[in-house]
Structure formats: C-alpha cells, structure tokens
Structure 1
Amino acid sequence: MYVTDKAEIVIDASSEEIWEYVTDPVHWTASNPEEHYGLEYDTPDNRPREGATFHQAEEVAGMYADLHGRFQYIDHPNVAVWTGTAYYPLLRGFVTVRIPEGGTIRLEETEDGTRMSHTVWMDFPNNRRGRALKWVFTTALNGKAKLYDHTTKELVFFKDRIESSASEKPKSPGTSS
C-alpha cells in the first residue's frame, strides 16, 4: 500500500552543475537540517553510483528513520533511482517498524533551466498492522503533506544555493566595485 509524492522545481543551471552539488552528502544533509542528520555513500569518493549503498539518518512527518538504501539505476547526470528500507523505532525503540521506500531523482533540461524532480514512495505492508501504520502516517501525522514538504524543502534549498553561487562570480582583476 503505497504513499507517493513528487516535488519539482526549475533551477537556472545545467544538469551537470546540479548533479555535482546535490550528490555531495554535505549539501544533501544541509538541504533540510531540521530533518536530515547525515548521509554517507559506501563509495571511495562518498558519491553515489549505480549499485552503491548509502545510509541516511532523517525524520519524516516527525518520525525518526534510519534509512539504508541502494542506488538501483543511475544515468549521470539525468536520473538516479534509489530503494531502501527505513527503520522507524517506535515507543522509544521498543518496536521497530521497517518500511520499504524509494525514489527517483530526475534532471531534465528545459528552455527555462533544468527541472529537478524527486518522486518518493513508501510501501506499507498490506496487512492489519500495515493498514494501521499507513492510517497513522497519512491521517494522524498528516504524513503525505509532510512528505511533500520535506522533499520540496530540499529542492528549494538546492535552487537557492546553486543560483546564488552562480550569481556570485568573482570579479576580474582591475575592475572597479
């Protein structure tokens, strides 16, 4: 039983520039400091690649998650598809709920810049417990809206940082202020 959402934004930069910025785990963590607590890729250069695993500590809808994932497919610098399992410790860790999750990050060049989108999903089990968890997430925690807000916040951060760094180009020697 899926809960899905998609956020997108247009950034005035090339796909390559955006890719290089957003795949830096420091930048990804900084994109949502209230809900991201760290990201590490299991690669020598700490960057994603097809088949690489990763670990991210985060919160979604006010629930802490320990996400362990893998990049299933990467078409650099256009698409990254990831899947994983998020471990949600409930009742102070007395019970841990495992939810399969995943997403697709796309960078598509347009006339106005590059459209960056991140489609994310959570797959709650189709049993009583899963239906109850999905109900709590979507209804009591307003999780679908918070999932969208979480993802949108990341994209807005990337847009602001990438576009502001592009406008802060160094002046040539000998030019006046």
Structure 2
Amino acid sequence: MYVTDKAEIVIDASPEEIWDYVTDPVHWTASNPEEHYGLEYDTPDNRPREGATFQQREEVAGMYADLHGRFQYIDHPHVAVWTGTAYYPVLRGLVTVRIPEGGTIRLEETEDGTRMSHAVWMDFPNNRRGQLLKQLFTTVLDGKAKLYDHTNKELVFFKERIESTVHEPPIPTDEGP
C-alpha cells in the first residue's frame, strides 16, 4: 500500500552542475537540517554510483528513521533511482517498523533551466498492521503532506544555493605584501 509524492523545481544551472552539488552528502544533509542527520555512501569518493549503498539518518513526518538504501540505476547526470528500507523505532525503540521506500531523482533540461524532480514512495505492508500504520501516517501524522514538504524543502535549498553560486562573480582575494 503505497504513499507517493513528487516535488519539482526549475534551477538555472546545467544538469552536471546540479548533480555535482546535490550528490555531495554534506549538501544533501544541509538541504533539510531539521530532518537530515547525515548521509554516507559506501563508495571510495563518498558519491553515489549504480549499485552503491548508502545510509541516511532522517525524520519523516516527525518520525526518526534510519534509511539503508541502494542506487538501483544511475544515468549520470540525468536520473538516479534508489530503493531502501527505513527503520522507524516506535515506542522508544521497543518496536522497529520497517518500511520499504524509494525514489527517482530526475534532471531534465528545459528552456528555463533544468527541472529537478524527486518522486518518492513508501510501501506499507498489505496487512492489518500495514493498514493501521498507513492510516496513522496519512491522518494523524499528516504524512503525505509532510513527505512532500520534506522533499520540496530539499529542492528549494538546492535551487537557492546553486543559483546563488552560479551567477556570483569570484570574490577577489587581498594578496597584498
């Protein structure tokens, strides 16, 4: 039983510039500091590539999660598809709820710049417990709206940061005697 959402934004930069910026785990974590607590890739350069795994600590709809994922497909610098399992400790860790999650990040050139989108999904188990969890997530926690807000906040951050650095002239250095 899926909960899905998608956020998108147009950024005045090339797909390559955006890719280089957003795949830096420091920038990804900074894109939502209230809900991102760290991201690590299992690659020597700490950057994503097809088949690479990652771990991200975050909050979604006010619930802490430890997400363990893998990049299933990457078409650099246009598409990255990831899947994983988020571990949500409930009742102070007495119970851990495991939810399969995933997403597709796309960078598509347009006349106005590059459209960056991130479509995400959560797959609640198709049983009574899953139905209850999905109901709690979508109603009590307002999870669908918060899922969009979480993803959109990342994209807005990337747009603001990338556009502010792309068009700023270099800062002169004072190299006096």
The yes-or-no answer on 1:105 pairing with 2:125 is no
How far 1:50 moved relative to its partner? 0.1
Cα distance in structure 2, aligned partners of 1:96 and 1:170: 49
C-alpha offsets along residues 28-53 of structure 1, whole Å, 9 cap, x if unaligned?
Answer: 00000000000000000000000000
Aligned residue number for residue 137 of structure 1: 137
Alignment of 1:80-95 (within 5 A): 80-95=80-95
Identity of aligned residues (%): 87
Equivalent residue letter for 1:74: I
How far 1:93 moved relative to its partner? 0.0
How far 1:167 moved relative to its partner? 2.0
Aligned residue number for residue 4 of structure 1: 4
Equivalent residue letter for 1:159: K
More displaced, 163-172 or 153-162?
A: 163-172
Aligned residue number for residue 40 of structure 1: 40
C-alpha offsets along residues 99-137 of structure 1, whole Å, 9 cap, x if unaligned?
Answer: 000000000000000000000000000100000000000
Counting matched residue pairs gives 173
Pair 1:133–1:171, CA change in 2 (3 A): closer
Aligned residue number for residue 66 of structure 1: 66
How far 1:171 moved relative to its partner? 6.3
Structure 2 counterpart SS, 1:64: strand
RMSD: 1.1
| Superposition TM-score, scaled by structure 2 size | 0.96
Equivalent residue letter for 1:93: G
Equivalent residue letter for 2:78: N
Q: Mark the runs of 5 or more structure 2 residues left unpaired by the alignment.
A: none
Pair 1:146–1:169, CA change in 2 (3 A): same
Cα distance in structure 2, aligned partners of 1:171 and 1:69: 39
| Superposition TM-score, scaled by structure 1 size | 0.96
Cα distance in structure 2, aligned partners of 1:64 and 1:43: 25
Aligned residue number for residue 29 of structure 1: 29
How far 1:172 moved relative to its partner? 7.8
C-alpha offsets along residues 35-86 of structure 1, whole Å, 9 cap, x if unaligned?
Answer: 0000000000000000000000000000000000000000000000000000
Structure 1 counterpart SS, 2:20: helix
Aligned residue number for residue 55 of structure 1: 55
Cα distance in structure 2, aligned partners of 1:10 and 1:24: 20
